[in-house]
């Protein structure tokens, strides 16, 4: 992905007249910006957000800028909001037999240790939509029990009949060997190419079942929303679209759509990355002001 991203960025920015633009959608306002590196001039424009179709405020705002948008870098909380408000799509889970209830068992940690009346939020996938499949990968990545492909087909068909629009596949020890997850994904794609499928080895390839399973499920829960939104936004723009990542970087719209969890906190992270970059360009004084502003916003001491 990094090589493909760099290629698309270079292709989009080869024209010396291509000026980068930024668009950030908030709950009340949509902010767009245009930066001319030659004149070092920054143009800002603010419009009311259009909740029914956030693209409209973005496109109208970009059209109000003095130059055409060839490159647009976009930050959005749309995916995070869908997750927080639980407005994702109906989601199913295929998992190793015996690990069906990992999402409810969790890691036995309480986010509020002293709350004796603590109630955990229900899992994003209801138990009837969590389907166990016979397979097993060992701790060393060796195949202990071959994947039950007929079981995968039967479980996937049941989920599809139940109206599921997205399926997460999270098998035990798949971070060491993703062969079973990839094969299960191929089987589901052959059954129904319109169903979104996420595998944990691609979304969060790390040890510990709850962390990997829950991250994969959360990604599957909002992935169709992110994919649809970014695809339609790209069609509405005349130039290339890049999306802010939660780590402060950027990626292509296609890569963001396939791994939606990487853009959950793209907009908040931009609020810290931008002042830091601006301070680097303008000197220590500007950086000090940026740090003081960020600390004041979080009630911290610089």
What tens digit of pLDDT does each residue of 32-65 get? 988 877 787 888 889 999 988 989 999 999 888 8
Contact between 47 and 61 under an 8 Å Cβ cutoff? The reply is yes
275 φ/ψ angles, rounded to the nearest 5 degrees: -60, -35
**pTM for the whole structure:** 0.83
Instruction: Report the SS3 class of residue 90.
Output: coil
Q: Are residues 157 and 41 in the same domain?
A: no
Report yes or no: 32 and 61 within 8 Å, Cβ to Cβ.
yes
- Note the pLDDT of residue 292: 54
148 and 131 belong to one structural domain: yes
Token pair belonging to 204: 């969060």
Q: Do 142 and 66 fall within a single domain?
A: no
Q: Which domain holds residue 190?
A: 89-221
pLDDT confidence of residue 281: 61
Domain shared by 105 and 193, yes or no: yes
Maximum separation of any 2 CA atoms in the chain, in Å: 65
Q: Which helix (H) or strand (E) segment is 56 a member of? A: helix 54-63
Instruction: Lowest mean pLDDT of 173-177, 189-193, 224-228, 248-252, name the range.
Output: 248-252
Is the predicted pLDDT of residue 16 greater than 50, yes or no? Answer: no
- Residues comprising the chain, all counted: 302
Residues 131 and 189 in one domain: yes
Provide the 3-class DSSP secondary structure of residue 214.
helix
Q: Are strands 29-36 and 20-25 parallel, antiparallel or unpaired?
A: antiparallel
What average pLDDT does the structure give for the chain?
A: 85
Q: What is the chain's alpha carbon radius of gyration, rounded to the nearest angstrom? A: 22
- Is pLDDT above 70 for 285? no
166 lies in the same domain as 45: no
Instruction: State mean pLDDT over 70-74.
Output: 86
CATH number where 255 lies = 3.30.420.40
Give the whole-angstrom CA distance, residue 140 versus residue 137: 8
pLDDT higher for 247 or 215? 215
299 pLDDT exceeds 70? no
Based on the fold, state whether residues 150 and 52 are members of the same structural domain.
no
Residue range 266-294: mean pLDDT, rounded: 61
Q: Does 105 lie in the same domain as 26?
A: no
- Residue 177 and residue 68 share a domain: no
Domain end among 195, 221, 247: 221
Tally the domains of the chain. 3
d(CA 67, CA 15) in angstroms, rounded, equals 14
Whether residues 59 and 114 fall in one domain = no
H/E run at residue 48: strand 41-48
């Amino acid at each position: 992905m990094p090589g493909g991203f760099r290629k698309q960025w270079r292709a989009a920015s080869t024209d010396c007249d291509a000026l980068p633009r930024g668009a950030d959608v908030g709950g009340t306002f949509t902010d767009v910006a245009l930066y001319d590196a030659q004149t070092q001039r920054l143009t800002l424009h603010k419009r009311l957000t259009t909740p029914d179709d956030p693209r409209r405020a973005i496109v109208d705002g970009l059209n109000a800028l003095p130059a055409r948008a060839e490159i647009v870098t976009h930050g959005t909380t749309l995916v995070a909001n869908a997750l927080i408000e639980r407005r994702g799509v109906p989601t199913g889970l295929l998992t190793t037999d015996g690990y069906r209830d990992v999402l409810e068992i969790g890691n036995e940690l309480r986010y509020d240790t002293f709350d004796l009346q603590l109630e955990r939020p229900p899992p994003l996938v209801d138990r009837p939509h969590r389907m166990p499949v016979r397979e097993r990968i060992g701790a060393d990545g060796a195949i202990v029990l071959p994947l039950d492909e007929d079981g995968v087909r039967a479980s996937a068909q049941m989920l599809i009949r139940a109206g599921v629009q997205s399926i997460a596949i999270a098998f035990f020890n798949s971070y060491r060997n993703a062969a079973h997850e990839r094969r299960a994904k191929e089987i589901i794609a052959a059954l129904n190419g319109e169903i979104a499928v996420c595998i944990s080895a691609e979304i969060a390839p790390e040890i510990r079942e709850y962390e990997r399973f829950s991250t994969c499920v959360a990604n599957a829960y909002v992935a169709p929303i992110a994919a649809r939104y970014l695809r339609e936004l790209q069609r509405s723009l005349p130039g290339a679209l890049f999306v802010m990542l939660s780590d402060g970087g950027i990626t292509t719209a296609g890569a963001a759509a396939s791994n939606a969890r990487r853009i959950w906190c793209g907009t908040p992270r931009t609020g810290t990355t931008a002042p830091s970059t601006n301070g680097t360009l303008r000197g220590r004084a500007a950086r000090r002001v940026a740090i003081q502003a960020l600390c004041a916003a979080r009630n911290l001491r610089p």
